[in-house]
Structure 1
Amino acid sequence: MTTASLAGRTTDHPYFWPTVFILMWSSGYVAGKVGLPYAGPFTLISMRFASAALILLLVSIITGASWPSRPKDYLHLAAVGLLVQALQFSGLYLGLSLGVAAGTSAVMVGMMPIFTAIGAIVFLGEKVSPRQALGFLVGLLGVALVVAHKMGVSDAQWGGYLAILAALAGITIGTLYQKKFCVGIDLRTGGFVQLTVASLVAVPMALFAEEFRVIWTAEVMGSIAWLSLINSIGAVSVLFMLVQRGQASQVAGLFYLIPSVTAVMGYLVLHETLTRLQAVGFAVSAIGVYLSTRKTP
């Protein structure tokens, strides 16, 4: 089940997998916020990475998944694991634990399309059409509308915002690296390697900074299960599949919808506010995503 073969067998509507990805990825912000009162950020991601790695190892063995044949493939997978898994989610959860709102963190990471588009042009030789560039700008406007009422009024420490910026760097650079060096690698074994490397980074940090303390409740157990299965395995696998199917800059445009969807989920699950301005932002973001991801006939 390489990214290429999985994409080749996908016969669904062209917006099916992007929709699945957006829902999966957005839910991670809410699930993380649910679990953080009961475990430190590094402890939470350690359990997330380790459990997801174990699941993928068992799946790989049971299904006879192919393993990378070249040593350098393992090095590339390790690099993606450090960036997309360890750096991104360590920064994200640390920022959330320091008081950054779920919607605000989503909009900061939602800046990914701009930086990914620039990186795709410079490092991957991709071309961004005027329509796509317009889509990036429209999407950015929609994102700004979604969280306009939250910016500037949060009591989050500045360290929280810096941590979210580190998460943004991890997902942006990691996506470009995945597109450049990890195409064609089986998602099951590749995911296991990435999550194992991320675990080796997160576990010592959890032990040193938080002594791996957990208040075991239904909320934290549900959070860990959701983050492991739906986000670390499901959402990241779909992301890499979409990167394989299209240009990295087009796939990155999907991130403009994540703050809007996160705001809706936060309203439904965390009882956060949802305003008319946010609803307008949702519509504007959708237009931006359509413009930046629609392929030219």
Structure 2
Amino acid sequence: MTKSFPLLFILLWSSAFISGKEIVQNASPFAALAFRFGIVTIGFLVFAYFSNDKIFGKLKNIIESISTGILFHGIYLGGCWYAFSIGMPAAIVALIVTLQPILTNILSGPIFGEKISWKQWAGISLGFVGSVTVLGIDFGKEIPPLGLVATVLALFAITAGTLWQKKLSGNLALSVNNAYQAIGGCLFNLLLMFIFENAYINFTTSFILGMSHQIILVSFGAFTILMFLIKRGTVGKTTTLFFLVPPTSAVMAWIFLNEQLTFTDIIGFLITTVGVFIATRDKKNG
């Protein structure tokens, strides 16, 4: 069962970009994220209660989980959604965030002693090239300075959050850890909402469906799998999976949103798949 988790993670995580479009059209970004993680907090706490997981652990562990939640759900997601809301081209945001596996692999060596072989670096390079091919970056578009700053902050946040989470894995039950992370994300986005935006949420059918998808499949599904993969595997190999997100999102947009899927997209998908396979396969297999 767990062998299918990487594939399931990619499918669920990539689908977030499909429903995200509906959400940002019906709500201000920080209000939507605060609402989302408020619901997610309740869900994980209920699950933890019925699973007999210890909810109140050491204060130090709770604060650490809340802090990683601020990095993942506050600065990373908040930065990306804010950038979208002020006109930052989605492809540029995706390109910058796609640097995360490279940055994580560079840092995982000195922090965790993970050794990255030349074959893995070759795979990582192919993964990045494939992602850029799919994104089809148009640098002629105007880039809002604040959007660029927000996206770069998002990149560093998800990198730091991933590395920190690897160090903290096992201190709290997974459901409890996720609950405190959601609390951190909710409170941080509430703070940003009050400071930076005229908050609004239009509870249209498309918003409700999109938010339900984000909560159930992405927060409860994909993010939980990500935390599991970070705990069980090397952080470098886990983050390399993110290279598959842009091409998978492109295929999903073609299927569900009727968006065009070009020959270039297909080539990029194939390049990325080969790269991720090379970067993540076990040494004993080659």
- Give the TM-score normalised by the residue count of structure 1: 0.90
1:196 and 2:177 correspond = no
1:24 and 2:12 correspond = yes
C-alpha distance in structure 2 between counterparts of 1:244 and 1:68, whole Å: 21
> Paired residue for 1:51, among 26, 39, 51?
39
Unmatched segments (≥5 aa) in structure 2: none
Aligned residue for 1:88? 76
Secondary structure of the corresponding residue to residue 38 of structure 1: coil
> Paired residue for 2:150, among 136, 143, 163?
163
C-alpha distance in structure 1 between counterparts of 2:265 and 2:92, whole Å: 12
> Paired residue for 2:113, among 122, 125, 147?
125
C-alpha distance in structure 1 between counterparts of 2:257 and 2:87, whole Å: 15
Tell me the amino acid that sits aligned with residue 78 of structure 2.
Answer: S
Aligned residue for 1:105? 93
C-alpha distance in structure 1 between counterparts of 2:28 and 2:202, whole Å: 10
> Paired residue for 2:104, among 116, 119, 126?
116
Shift of 1:266: 2.5
- TM-aligned CA distance change 1:236 to 1:245, over 3 Å: same
- TM-aligned CA distance change 1:29 to 1:101, over 3 Å: farther
- TM-aligned CA distance change 1:222 to 1:41, over 3 Å: same
Instruction: Count matched residues.
Output: 284
Secondary structure of the corresponding residue to residue 51 of structure 1: helix
Q: Note the aligned Cα RMSD (angstroms).
A: 1.7
Tell me the amino acid that sits aligned with residue 268 of structure 2.
Answer: G
Aligned residue for 2:30? 42
Aligned residue for 2:128? 140
> Paired residue for 1:262, among 238, 249, 258?
249
The answer (yes or no) to whether the contact 1:103–1:263 under 8 Å persists in 2 is no
Q: What does residue range 254-293 of structure 1 map to in structure 2 within 5 Å?
A: 254-293=241-280
Aligned residue for 1:79? 67
1:243 and 2:230 correspond = yes
C-alpha distance in structure 1 between counterparts of 2:181 and 2:142, whole Å: 34
Secondary structure of the corresponding residue to residue 141 of structure 2: coil
C-alpha distance in structure 1 between counterparts of 2:168 and 2:47, whole Å: 24
1:152 and 2:101 correspond = no
- TM-aligned CA distance change 1:138 to 1:19, over 3 Å: same
Deviates more, 1:42-51 or 1:157-166: 157-166
C-alpha distance in structure 2 between counterparts of 1:288 and 1:76, whole Å: 33
C-alpha distance in structure 1 between counterparts of 2:45 and 2:130, whole Å: 40
1:239-281 deviations in Å (ceiling 9; x for gaps): 1111111100000110110011111222333443321111100
The answer (yes or no) to whether the contact 1:29–1:106 under 8 Å persists in 2 is no
Unmatched segments (≥5 aa) in structure 1: 1-10
The answer (yes or no) to whether the contact 2:57–2:172 under 8 Å persists in 1 is no
1:227 and 2:214 correspond = yes
